[in-house]
Chains A and B, each alone.
Chain A
Amino acid sequence: MSDLPFRILPEINDLNRPFWTSGRSGELHFLCCADCGYVVHPPTPMCPRDLSKNLVPQAVSGRATVATFTINHQPWMPGPELPYVVAIVEIDEQPSVRLTTNIINCAPADVFVGMPVRVVFEHRPVEDGEDLWIPLFEPAPVRAGA
């Protein structure tokens, strides 16, 4: 069995399955409107912009920017080592789409608003169920020419 720390996992349904399982391919996926291109998150059965039901999972670059964060010291639940960083990141392709997530692979004190980050998946094997890939973020190398 896995020696990963305790983490509460999401309940999976047809709408959110692409988001929570697409890490299998190494790429973050969101539900997108095939008619107008709008990224719909959290996933719903209808595009809020043009009311189309033609929604399909689509890969994004996995790059994002830290919009805000907090260094949490309170032991709310078993699992993570304290302190840990909870952040809201905005995805590059459509910054109005945000994810609450954890920033990992860096010291909490090094996280800042505006920090470029990239997705890194934590693979969660699930006995008698679907494996899940939890999208976490880590510092992204600065892009050439950026």
Chain B
Amino acid sequence: MSLSRDDLIERRACITGIGQSQIGRRLYRDPLELTLDACVAAIRDAGLTTRDIDGLSTYPGMAATPAGFSGAHATQVHDALRLEVGWYGSGIETSGQLGSVINACLAVGAGLANHVLCFRSVWEGSAQGSKGRKASMPGAGRGGDFRASGIMEWTLPFYAPSAAVWIAMFAQRHFHQFGTTREQLAQIALNGRRNAALNPAAIYRDPMTIDDYFNARIISTPFCLFDCDVPADGATAVIVSRRERARDLRRKPIGVEAVGTALRGRPSWDQFDDLSTMANRDAAAHMWTRTDLKPSDVDVAQLYDGFSFLALSWLEALGFCPVGEGGPFIEGGARIARDGELPLNTHGGQLSAGRLHGYGFLHEACVQLWEEGGDRQVANHPRVAVAAAGGGNTCGCMLLVRE
């Protein structure tokens, strides 16, 4: 580690509370209400009141995004709770969904705020309604006059409107280069479903077998339906506190050991230098430069699985196995099971617990470190957890330590 301790200002931050709203496939509830439910739950979980909250951060906030992708803007929550903040921010151009939490860590580390409320809220399930995912497709229903621009200029004209198609191509490249198989990839989905069965808040809890997986319809090779997460409604919030202000709170704080934010490759889905990996390569490598801990110190991993392949890709990026060996690493599923050497996505991941878009992994990392997982709690008092979110050209990760 070439940095001094004084450089690592994320360590001046800790997590003191978490909260979630009702979660469901389609709740048809006001997304701001869901958001506020999660925020208030997190504030109370920390033993704070709205008057104590002096920072606010969210992803993506006010941005041009598909229907239901942004359940509440920072401004809406700011005003609804009548917060008086020393620092606030939101945006989509950051290191994945957790970039917003990392920004909060840096803000409290710099002394701009003491307790930052961070939230992520989605209502894609209800927003798409019975029209399904087509309703969220750029240009859908806009006929022949709609023209593609921005990054969509290079994908939409080729009938490639979805991350399912883009990430399927990364997976296909990985299959080609390293011999990864669908049997191996299936373990991400099967593991998630096994864990979701023990998570009362998960959306999909019915058992899934390998036959169910192979009988599912193909979306875009090599992905079948169960490799893809499903639009959902729900909000998650976490409180990031300045360490010296966390001592007397309700909970024992969870320390932020290191964060990873780098993006060295081109910020592009198809121009990225190595199509068998992604921005997670850079974010994960960056994180390990900011700690003396090693992948072997991690007790539980909560890794983004908006598509199954992304979790496999994060396993490699974070160094849990060599690059290219993610397939053999998860083969059979024993290693990533709750009682395996690296319990993965213990809440069910986005594939089974619901597409809460990044924050669900951080929430579950905290649940496991506080040992409040109930039936799904991993044994042996986990001390170190990694939470990672994002895929393609936008990724970020956090290493958390129970103290």
Contacts and interface: CB of A to CB of B under 8 A. Distances in A.
Contact of A10 (B147, B269, B271): B147
B81 interface: no
Contacts, number: 118
B147 A8 contact: yes
Given A8-B148, A96-B273, A86 B158 contact: yes
B365 interface: no
B169 interface: yes
Contact of A67 (B149, B161, B269, B275): B275
What range describes how many residues of A lie at the interface? Answer: 35 or more
A76 B176 contact: no
Contacts of A100: 154-155, 158, 160, 166, 269-270
A83 B168 CA distance: 14
A68 interface: yes
A36 B161 CA distance: 34
A34 interface: no
Given A88-B275, A113-B176, A70 B149 contact: no
Nearest to A108: B221
What range describes how many residues of B lie at the interface? Answer: 35 or more
Contact of A11 (B149, B165, B166, B170): B149
Q: Which of A71, A72, A136 has the most CB of B within 10 A?
A: A72
A76 B170 contact: no
Given A67-B275, A69-B172, A76-B137, A8 B156 contact: yes
Interface in A70-120: 70-77, 79-80, 83-84, 86-88, 96-102, 113
Contacts of B138: 8
Given A68-B172, A77-B140, A86-B220, A10 B159 contact: no
A140 interface: no
B159 A86 contact: yes
Contacts of B173: 67-68, 113
B137 A86 contact: no
A12 B147 CA distance: 9
A77 B169 contact: no
Interface of A: 6-12, 16, 41-42, 67-77, 79-80, 83-84, 86-88, 96-102, 113, 134, 136
Given A76-B159, A76-B162, 7 more contacts: A70-B169, A71-B220, A71-B221, A74-B162, A74-B220, A75-B134, A83-B218
